[in-house]
Amino acid sequence: MRKPCCDKQDTNKGAWSKQEDEKLINYIRIHGEGCWRTLPQAAGLLRCGKSCRLRWINYLRPDLKRGNFTEDEEDLIIKLHALLGNRWSLIAGRLPGRTDNEVKNYWNSHLRRKLINMGIDPNNHRLITHNHLPRPHDSNSGASIISPASKVPVTDNTNIHPPEKSRGDNDQVSDAASSLEDHKLPDLNLDLTISVSASTVDKVEDDRRKSRNSPK
DNA sequence: AATAGCGGCAACCGCATCGAT
DNA sequence: TATCGATGCGGTTGCCGCTAT
């Protein structure tokens, strides 16, 4: 039986106070990131390590770019989501200064709705084919979708079927992504502008591996 | 002015993954 | 090879502020 990550009785929960933020920032400034389990005690925080890590990564990190997403960023998120599904950390890794949480929230609150309004199913990035729903170019029904910002067609290659939902269901996209890594997607049009290509996906995965292996 | 409804965002939770032993 | 602990990730929740009624 695994021990809980922290003694929940002795930890604060909920919103962070300014003092807590300052303690965390000061500690990381001096000692650097890592060792999240021992950090709270060492920093004098009544928080669990996971909470500290999340607060730092999503809010306190100095290199965070806060504020609205640009059109380019939106476009890139949509394209990467079409390729990778709900792998938010991978997507965020291609957006400097953005966090997975931020991208995920933005997707769920803005981009999903935006795609739906455009008649695109956000789960699989294909045109929603409702018989009663008028479609922009019906002759192409289900054949291609237009990326909103760039107006660059994202070919519906039918090889990519992002998941209805993530985690267990990520297998489909994992398959797509791993197929990309194996170069087994013959007819896949990966010219997604903003340099999202098979090699980009390779690089994303590669970066991820490297960051895992590199010491903190 | 009050309040119900809604959307956005920060934070939590549980599971997966990876490295060390 | 199996097990354990630490960390990472994605889904979900809950709070807060804004807007419509």
Give the tens place of pLDDT for each residue, A20-73: 888 888 888 888 887 888 888 888 888 888 889 889 988 888 888 888 888 889
Q: Which residues touch strand B (CB under 7 A)?
A: A 8, 12-16, 47-48, 50-51, 54-55, 58-59, 101-102, 104-106, 109-110, 113, 167-168, 212-213
Look at residues A208, A48, A38 and name the one whose alpha carbon lies nearest to residue A20.
A48
CA A171 to C1' C20, in angstroms, rounded, equals 42
Contact, A142 vs A156, CB < 8 A? yes
Q: Which nucleotides of C are covered by protein (CB under 7 A)?
A: 4-12, 15-16
Instruction: Look up the CATH number of domain A9-60.
Output: 1.10.10.60
Residue nearest to nucleotide B10 (CA to C1'): A15
- Whole-angstrom distance, CA of residue A118 vs CA of residue A23: 46
Burial letters A4-31, b for 16+ CB under 10 A, else e: eebeeeeeeeeebeeebeebbbebbeee
Residue A74 phi, psi (nearest 5): -55, -50
Which residues of chain A fall below pLDDT 70? 1-10, 130-216
CATH 1.10.10.60 domain range(s) in chain A: 9-60
